[in-house]
Chain A
Amino acid sequence: MSQVPLSWFLVLSALLFALGVAGFLFRRNIITVFMSIELMLNAVNLSFIAFAYQHKDVSGHLFVFFVMVVAAAEAAVGLAIILTVFKNRATLNIDDISSMKD
């Protein structure tokens, strides 16, 4: 019993991912939405590491490495875009930044 079943890790990952999706769908602040995205990415990273343990393959770790790099780059650019949007629209409400009619 000193061993943790692998499925628990996967359940945790799924839970975190679902919470991330919920935050993405139901929050109004752009930055909070962004943070939900980061939460989703972290959940997926956990899955990868768990499977790397199961298959005893370091490739899972490599994949997480790349996910982290991309997430960092994405966060940088995304936040820059948010800054620009804020300059133009003066609001951080995700529903108000659309300029499409109707």
Chain B
Amino acid sequence: MLLWLIPLFPLAGFAINGIFGRRFPKALVNAVAVGSVLLSFLWVLKTLAAGAPLNGPITERYFTWIQSGTLSIGVDMTVDRLTAVMLLIVTGIGSLIHIYSIGYMAHEGGYYRFFAYMNLFMFFMLTLVLAANYLLLFVGWEGVGLCSYLLIGFYFDKKFATDAGNKAFIVNRIGDFGFSLAAFLIFRQFGSLDFSVVSGQAAGAPTAMLTAIGLLLLLGACGKSAQIPLYVWLPDAMAGPTPVSALIHAATMVTAGVYMTARSWPIYVHAPQAMETIAIIGTATAFFAATIGLAQNDIKKVFAYSTVSQLGYMFVGVGVGAFSAGIYHLMTHAFFKALLFLGSGAVIHSLSGEQDMRHMGGLRGKIPWTFWTMMCAAVAIAGVPPFAGFWSKDAILLAAHAHAPWMYWAGTVTAGLTAFYVFRAMFLTFFGSYRGNHHPHESPAVMLAPLAVLAALSLAGGWLFKVPEFLSAVFPAQEVPEDAGLMAISTAAGLIGIAVAYLMYVAKPALADSFADGFKGLYWLVYNKYFVDEIYDAAVVAPVVDGSRAVLWKGVDAGLIDGSVNGIGARCRNLGSVLRLWQSGNIRSYATWVLVGAVVMIVAIGMAGGAR
């Protein structure tokens, strides 16, 4: 089956572009980069076609990587239906975004470096998805974190970009720490890190251990998938180029946490407290991030908080046991969020870099293609039937209601908020009159074509790809009653959100400002993202940095270590200056000391019994 070729093509692309890209003409860089991802996509199709109908996992074992005592970890790749869904998303949307980047990055410096990093990211992400054990998954996990750092800080001469890259990496690391601990516990409990072994033996393991593993894996997922409390890096990650935001921070990398959680379903199914925690965190994050998104003025920040919120939905789905619903939403979210980001990228590109929505407006006449494709994404994310978002979101909400009704109601309110802020962004950007001073122009075809494809998927992808049925062979069955009433209520929430946004930003624009003035305190709190970054800074970052500086640097390093090393030198010097006095140059004192030494020797020999 040669599964290893799937990640290999982008890796080769990275190597070629990384080493030789500087001297290649742009066309060649494009060909290598886009071609490698397309080849990967084609190979995925071939693999899935060959392995259909994929009722069980297909595993390929390549070689033993670590062999130490009882620990044996191999480089193994596996494909089952869940992997198939992820592979198609990653390679398919990855290809579209690579094609889009040709147009978006055309005038940027470091062209070949960008595509090299993007290909490297694809390699790691595919490794993560194809991995058959937790360690290989972790390799991909860390690798995508690295590429995220490299790509967020792509404009490395801008301090806010490099700071954002650092923040992303460091916050991720906290999550990775949790993941590592979980891997240790998994080995402790099951003796192996293979998914097959874990799923086979999970039923017999003690619940406390499984809960611990589950919570630690959740910590890792919170870091990678930007849930409370580790979501703070994602809004800052918008400092990277927009294709990066679309690919990494919407469609693929941030979904790795959801994928990993879904993949660990045998553990979670037997650790109900851990699953409950996942659901609660997911609900809280979804609502919290949605509220922040209401007041943002940077178009990319709105969609960043939207991503955090939608990831919360996916975690709710996984947390209430509707694993396939969570993955379903992962897929539809990939379609419309990638489209929203790429579209906003097209808007920014047409306005030569303007990102503040207060300086946009009335663009629907000037960049119609962008407008209509983004509108497709907007109705999808708002949950308007029969488009993609409606199906997946309702699957999650119905399952949530069956589990705990308050989650359903929180999710529905969030759905209303989602619709509101997305359409607020749409109305501010495309309706009204133009409030800026640039000359908007439509984007080139190479950027518009992927938008069109994604728009089609956003509209039709819901009923075209029936993911829950497809994945029912992988996950345990769950009975969720179809309730038309609940579906109607959640859809109504979305439509109300759209209507309110229309009222406040198109019909009566003054209403928005008076609303903000009326709730000044609340608005100020939400606009400043509840000061979470500032709180973290004061509570965690500053004490650690100051503590390190005062205690570890000045105290331990300079005082103790340098002190002892220098102290040895100083003591030697002191000893030397004392001993130096013995070498007086006075021959008679030398002779005297010789005599003393001779006396000592005679005494010693005499006491030791003579020289016989």
Contacts and interface: CB of A to CB of B under 8 A. Distances in A.
Contacts of A21: 595
B586 A98 contact: yes
Contact of A24 (B583, B584, B586, B591): B591
Interface string A33-47: 100000000000000
Interface in A53-82: none
Contacts of A98: 584-587
Contacts of B592: 25
B603 to A, nearest CB: 16
B588 interface: yes
Contact of A95 (B583, B588, B595): B588
A24 B595 CA distance: 10
A7 interface: no
Contacts of B586: 95, 98
A21 B585 CA distance: 19
Contact of B585 (A24, A25, A99): A99
A100 B588 contact: no
A94 interface: yes
B595 A100 contact: no
Contacts, number: 23
A25 B592 CA distance: 7
A21 B592 CA distance: 9
A25 B591 CA distance: 7
A86 to B, nearest CB: 15
Nearest to B587: A94
Contacts of B587: 33, 94-95, 97-98
B591 A100 contact: no
Nearest to B584: A100
- Tell me what chain B mostly uses at the interface: helix, strand, loop, or mixed: helix
A73 B313 CA distance: 104
B401 to A, nearest CB: 96
Interface in A1-47: 21, 24-26, 33
B503 to A, nearest CB: 97
Given A94-B588, A95-B588, A25 B595 contact: yes
B139 to A, nearest CB: 67
Interface string B561-595: 00000000000000000000001111110011001
Contacts of B591: 24-25
**Which of B586, B587, B595 gathers most chain A CB within 10 Å?**
B587
Nearest to B580: A102
- Tell me what chain A mostly uses at the interface: helix, strand, loop, or mixed: loop
Contacts of B595: 21, 25
Contacts of A94: 587-588
B610 to A, nearest CB: 15
Contacts of A95: 586-588
A52 B365 CA distance: 129
A21 B591 CA distance: 9
A96 to B, nearest CB: 10
Contacts of B588: 25-26, 94-95
Interface in A80-96: 94-95
B580 to A, nearest CB: 9
Interface in B584-612: 584-588, 591-592, 595
A22 to B, nearest CB: 10
A62 B583 CA distance: 38
A74 B293 CA distance: 101
A70 to B, nearest CB: 18
A102 B586 CA distance: 10
Interface in B522-538: none
A24 B594 CA distance: 11
Contacts of A100: 583-585
A12 B182 CA distance: 91
A21 B593 CA distance: 12
A99 B587 CA distance: 12
Nearest to B583: A100
A41 B588 CA distance: 19
Interface string B239-271: 000000000000000000000000000000000
Nearest to A98: B585
A72 to B, nearest CB: 22
A100 B592 CA distance: 18
Contacts of A26: 588
Contacts of A102: 584
A69 B147 CA distance: 86
A18 to B, nearest CB: 10
Nearest to A30: B587
Contacts of B585: 98-100
A92 to B, nearest CB: 12
A98 B591 CA distance: 14
A102 B584 CA distance: 8
A101 to B, nearest CB: 8
Contacts of A99: 585
A14 to B, nearest CB: 12
Nearest to B589: A25
Nearest to A99: B585
A99 B585 CA distance: 7
Nearest to B595: A21
Contacts of A25: 588, 591-592, 595
**Which of A24, A26, A99 gathers most chain B CB within 10 Å?**
A24
B612 to A, nearest CB: 14
A73 to B, nearest CB: 21
A27 B557 CA distance: 57
A26 B588 CA distance: 8
B578 to A, nearest CB: 14
A81 B237 CA distance: 85
Nearest to B598: A21
B522 to A, nearest CB: 83
11 contacts: A21-B595, A25-B591, A25-B595, A26-B588, A94-B588, A95-B586, A97-B587, A98-B584, A98-B586, A98-B587, A100-B584
Interface of B: 583-588, 591-592, 595
Q: Which 4 A-B pairs have the closest CB atoms?
A: A100-B585, A98-B585, A94-B587, A24-B591
Given A25-B588, A95-B587, A99-B585, 19 more contacts: A21-B595, A24-B591, A25-B591, A25-B592, A25-B595, A26-B588, A33-B587, A94-B587, A94-B588, A95-B586, A97-B587, A98-B584, A98-B585, A98-B586, A98-B587, A100-B583, A100-B584, A100-B585, A102-B584
Interface of A: 21, 24-26, 33, 94-95, 97-100, 102
